[in-house]
Amino acid sequence: MQKEFKLPELGENIEAADIVNVLVKEGDFVKKDQGIVEIETDKATIEVPSSVEGKISKLFVKAGDRVKVGETIMVVEEETQETTKTTESVAEEKNKVESLSAKKEEKKTEEKPASKPAVSGEKKIVDFHLPELGENIESADVVNVLVKVGDVIQKDQGIIEIETDKATIEVPATVSGKVIEVLVKAGEKAKVGQTIIKVETGDVSETKIVETKESEIIQEQKSEETKPEFIKQPTTEVKGELPKLHPMEFVEQPPILKGAAPAAPSVRRIAREIGVDINKVPGTGPGGRITMDDVKAYSKKLHESRAEGIGIGIKAEALPDFSKFGKVKKVEMSNIRKKTAEHLSYAWATIPHVTQFDKADITNLEKTRKELSKIVEKSGAKLTVTGILVKVVVEALKKFPQFNSSIDMEKKEIIYKNYFNIGIAVDTEHGLIVPVIKDADKKSLTQISVDMNLLAEKARTKKIGLEELQGGCFTITNLGGIGGTYFTPIVNSPEVAILGVSRSSYEPVWNGYGTFEPRLMLPLSLSYDHRIIDGADAIRFLRFIVESLEQPLKMLL
């Protein structure tokens, strides 16, 4: 029995991913949960495990392909007696068809020398035009051309395969004769009334004789050779073959509005659901056809232009030709880098940012951290300042709920969250990734440290799951391991605040008794959304964090 393995759901609003690497090949035997492909989404690079087990009979993807959610990755064959029998049956049916085709060819060969075509009427050149396809359908995309110059065609024979806004269909010929010119090719758009082919017509008796003989052969074999069941059977059972799509009849073509944009019904439906006028969307597909990605890109631009605080009508300046000044190297952005650039550009353009700075004296905290590290290390993790900050931030979010919210400017609503998921920015060779520690308020400091260590390792080795990157309430980004003093982190929309941590250092601090003491000071940078958070609230929030680091028992009060 054959089983299809399809690209599973990858997370909210993620509909496709790029294949970075294919980890198996045809003929391999795969087990459940074995890695099949390595994909790169807008969020991370991850391995996709198999949900089926068996021998790979067909592999449909390769590195560099873009695959949509639900698209078939491979077909796995479970070796059973029933499968073997079915395959043999299909092979027999194929042999029968080939035999029938051979008989047809023999008959054609026998009939041709019998007599030369007798032309009873004058030969003439006839233009075959694309006929009316349905009410208000003015054009269609040519998917495939089924004839070539020199072919002898019969009336009602399929000439081209076209795709309209509603279906993919074959267009039958309305004349018989010899094709002397083909005026369209696959990928082009053809208008109703446009000349498709030129045909030399005439009453050719040879054609009629052969047609009669072929009809007799087909009629003789019909009961056992051309059953409808046979047409369907091999397409569902033979390894690696895809089902044949039967085109919709002309009478089934539903009418569409005049002048409608070239887009599939599924694309039109999505456009309607998200409030996009499909006729205004520029198409990037063959012949200007509108794809799902075109609709999404257009919708995104609309939302960005309507968002509060964004500059409308800002024209991008063209880059100069840098090669005039020296050697250059162009490298295409990875999906993660593209998404990061788009997301942060959107956040910076739509959120009125303010950044508040402060320092925390962590001299005593650092001594305690080193003492407690031995306990945490027994669990296989390290106790870090970032881990401690997760617990501190959770308490701050409880005390200042406006920091644990999101803002909906279209509905003019504030969404307050009653859960506490903290994102930790991780620097990887693939780009910035933000894993999320879920339910941080319910976890001990040791468990948070273990989770942080595990998530960071997954992010760096491309093993992280998409669900581990979603649902954050507040983000912490720590650059202290690299250096620096202060910086202005960009709010990770739809969150409303982010805490930046820089490298701690010893500084002389006035002790109030006439001398300066060396104290270990930790620089903190709090960026926030000024639409919902006022400056006074921001400094109170930041001071709570500072005081909690300096006097941890304050959190218990």
- Give 348 or 492, the one with higher predicted confidence: 492
Most confident of 68-77, 267-276, 389-398: 389-398
92 pLDDT tier (thresholds 50, 70, 90): low
Tokens 């799509």 found at: 245
- Whether 395 and 445 have beta carbons less than 8 Å apart is answered as no
For residue 83, pLDDT over 70 is answered with no
Domains 265-306 and 336-556 share a fold: no
Q: Which of 33-47, 257-271, 289-303, 425-439 has the lowest mean pLDDT?
A: 257-271
Q: pLDDT of 508-548, one tens digit each? A: 999 888 899 999 999 999 999 999 999 999 999 999 999 99
Class of the CATH-defined domain 336-556: alpha beta
Coil, helix or strand at residue 229: helix
Task: State how far Cα 498 lies from the chain centre.
Answer: 28
34 pLDDT tier (thresholds 50, 70, 90): confident
For residue 176, pLDDT over 50 is answered with yes
Q: What pLDDT was estimated at residue 208?
A: 40
* pLDDT, average across residues 466-477: 91
Is CATH 4.10.320.10 the classification given to domain 265-306?
A: yes
Residue type, 125: I
193 pLDDT tier (thresholds 50, 70, 90): confident
Is CATH 2.40.50.140 the classification given to domain 2-77?
A: no
Residue in 67, 75, 76 with CA at minimum distance from that of residue 10: 67
CA distances from 402 to 357, 407, 414 (A): 19, 10, 9
Residue in 441, 393, 395, 446 with CA at minimum distance from that of residue 420: 441
Q: What pLDDT was estimated at residue 168?
A: 60
* pLDDT, average across residues 214-234: 42
For the annotated catalytic residues, the residue numbers are 473, 530, 534
Q: What pLDDT was estimated at residue 432?
A: 81
The span from the CA of 90 to the CA of 4, in Å, is 19
| DSSP letter string, 15-82 | -EEEEEEE---TT-EE-TT-EEEEEE-SS-EEEEEPS--EEEEEE---TT-EEETT-EEEEEE---HH
- Whether 254 and 135 have beta carbons less than 8 Å apart is answered as no
21 pLDDT tier (thresholds 50, 70, 90): confident
Q: What pLDDT was estimated at residue 367?
A: 92
In the chain, domain spans: 2-77, 265-306, 336-556
* pLDDT, average across residues 9-14: 71
361 pLDDT tier (thresholds 50, 70, 90): very high
Q: Which of 74-83, 117-126, 494-503, 508-517 has the lowest mean pLDDT?
A: 117-126
Q: pLDDT of 102-158, one tens digit each? A: 555 554 444 444 434 434 456 788 888 888 776 557 788 888 898 999 899 888 888
The span from the CA of 246 to the CA of 557, in Å, is 72
Q: What pLDDT was estimated at residue 248?
A: 38
The share of the chain scoring above pLDDT 70, in percent, equals 75
Q: What pLDDT was estimated at residue 444?
A: 93
- Token reading at 258: 């005049």
Residues 6+ apart with CB under 8 A from 250: 133, 134, 169
The span from the CA of 111 to the CA of 209, in Å, is 7
- Whether 165 and 256 have beta carbons less than 8 Å apart is answered as yes
For residue 293, pLDDT over 90 is answered with no
Strands (E) in 336-482, as ranges, are 353-361, 405-408, 413-416, 422-424, 426-428, 431-433, 436-437, 474-478
Q: pLDDT of 371-387, one tens digit each? A: 998 889 988 889 999 99
410 pLDDT tier (thresholds 50, 70, 90): confident
Q: What pLDDT was estimated at residue 395?
A: 95
